[in-house]
Amino acid sequence: MNVEVTGGAGFIGSNIVDALVGQGHCTSVVDNLTTGRAGNVCPGVPLYQCDITDAGIMCETIQRTTPEIIFHLAAQIDVRKSVADPAFDASTNVLGMINVAQAAVANHARRLIFSSTGGALYGEPAGLPADETTPILPLSPYGVAKYCAEQYLSYCSRLHGLEAVVLRYANVFGPRQDPLGEAGVVAIFTRRILAGERPVIYGDGRQTRDFVFVGDVVQANLLAMNGPQGTYNIGTRIETSINDLVHAFERITGRPVEPEYRPARAGEVQHIALDAGRAQRELGWKPAVSLEDGLAQTIEWYKRQC
C-alpha cells in the first residue's frame, strides 16, 4: 500500500515508518526536521523536507506521493510552549491539520490516521481511567488545538468521505524520544540518570501519568489502517506517579536516584490514565509491553547512542 507519514522523522513517526517498511508498504515521509532527524528515517524512504503549515507545498507533496493512507503525526508537542505561545501552537496543530486534510481530499487519499492526545485532552477527569466519552476539558492550548484538529478531520470526513481514525495517546515513551526537549519525561530522565545527573520533577512527584510504550503505539497505528473509523484511546489504564517512575529507574539501573523538585508548571494535568477498551474491542489492540520492560529497552537504546 502507498502510505505517507507526516512527522515521520520524529520519535513516534519514525518507529511507524520502520514498521510500515517492514510490512512492505511503499512509504514516504514529510517532516520539516525542526525536531525530527533525517537519520531516523529508514534508508531508501523518500523524505520531503517541508512544513505542514504551508498549504501549497503540502498539496504539491501529497500530489507527488499519491498516498492511499496518511498518518498525520507532525505537530508542536510541548505543552509548556503551547501555554507560552498559543498562536504558534495553533498554527501548527490546527492549521497544519487543515492543510494535510485538504491535501488528502484533493489528491484522493482514502484514510487519514491522526495522532491526537488523551493525556492532555480530558483535563482532570472526575473518574479514571478516562474513556472516549469523558468530557473534553483541556488545561492547555496544546489540548485545545488537538481537539480542534480532531473536529476539522471529522468535518472533512462528513463532507468529503475521507476516512478518519483518531488515536488519542497516553504518555508515549521509548527509543528515539528526544531527551533534550521539553516533552517526554522518560527520555529526559533517562539522559540525566545515565549521565549521573539529578532528574528534575516539577511539583511533588505525586502527579500520575499513563505510560505506553512506543512499540504498542506503532501496533495501534498499523491496526488503524484497516480497522473501523472512529476515535480510540491508546493507553494502559495504569496510573504511575512520577515518584514511582523514579523508583522504576532505580530498580532497572541498580543505582539510587535523587530527584530535584521544582515548582509545578501551568497547563499540566495532575492525574490521568486512559481506558482503551474501545481500541481492544474494535481494533483488536491492547498494550503488550509493561512500563519496566519498556524502560529497560529504552535505557539500553540510549546507552547504545552514547
Q: Identify whether the C-beta of residue 77 lies closer than 8 Å to the C-beta of residue 32.
A: no
Please tell me the predicted confidence (pLDDT) of residue 60. Answer: 97
Q: What is the crossing angle of helices 242-253 and 185-194, to 10°?
A: 40
Task: Give the pLDDT of residue 181.
Answer: 67
Half-sphere exposure of 148 (CA within 13 A, CB side): 16
Q: Tell me the three cell numbers of residue 80.
A: 509548556
Under a CB-based contact definition with an 8 Å cutoff, are residues 45 and 19 in contact?
no
Q: What percent of the chain has pLDDT over 90?
A: 95
What's the predicted TM-score (pTM) here? 0.97
Q: Given a cut of 80, is residue 32 above it in pLDDT? A: yes
Residue type, 189: F
How many angstroms separate the CA atoms of 251 and 151, rounded? Answer: 43
In the residue annotation, 48 being an active-site residue is answered as no
Closest CA to 216 of 257, 172, 252, 161: 172
Beta strand 260-262 with 230-234 is unpaired
What contacts 39, CB < 8 A, 6 or more positions away? none
Q: How many CB atoms lie within 10 A of CB 139?
A: 19
Q: Residue 182 above 70 pLDDT?
A: no
At residue 306 the predicted structure's pLDDT band, cuts being 50, 70 and 90, is confident
Which pLDDT score is estimated for 19? 98
- Residue pair 165/101 in contact (Cβ under 8 Å)? The answer is no
Q: What distance lies between CA 108 and its chain's CA centroid?
A: 25
Strands 260-262, 211-213: pairing is: unpaired
Q: Are 202 and 244 in contact (CB under 8 A)?
A: no
What are 220-252's pLDDT values in tens digits? 999 999 999 999 999 999 999 999 999 999 999
Q: CB of 68 within 8 A of CB of 4?
A: no
Mean pLDDT, range 181-197, rounded to an integer: 90
**What is the average pLDDT across 139-154?**
97
pLDDT for position 266:
86
Q: Closest Cα partner for 163 from 99, 276, 69?
A: 69
193 has pLDDT over 80: yes
Q: Is the pLDDT of residue 112 over 90?
A: yes
Least confident of 80-89, 111-120, 157-166, 173-182: 173-182
Segment 161-167 shows an average pLDDT of 98
pLDDT of residue 267: 85
Strand partners, 295: none
Residue 202 has pLDDT above 90, yes or no: yes
Q: Which pLDDT does position 179 carry in this prediction?
A: 83
Residue from 142, 147, 169, 302 carrying the catalytic annotation: 142
Domains of the chain: 2-173+212-236+276-288 (3.40.50.720)
Kindly state the cell numbers that stand for 13.
513517526
Query: What's the mean per-residue pLDDT of the chain?
Result: 96
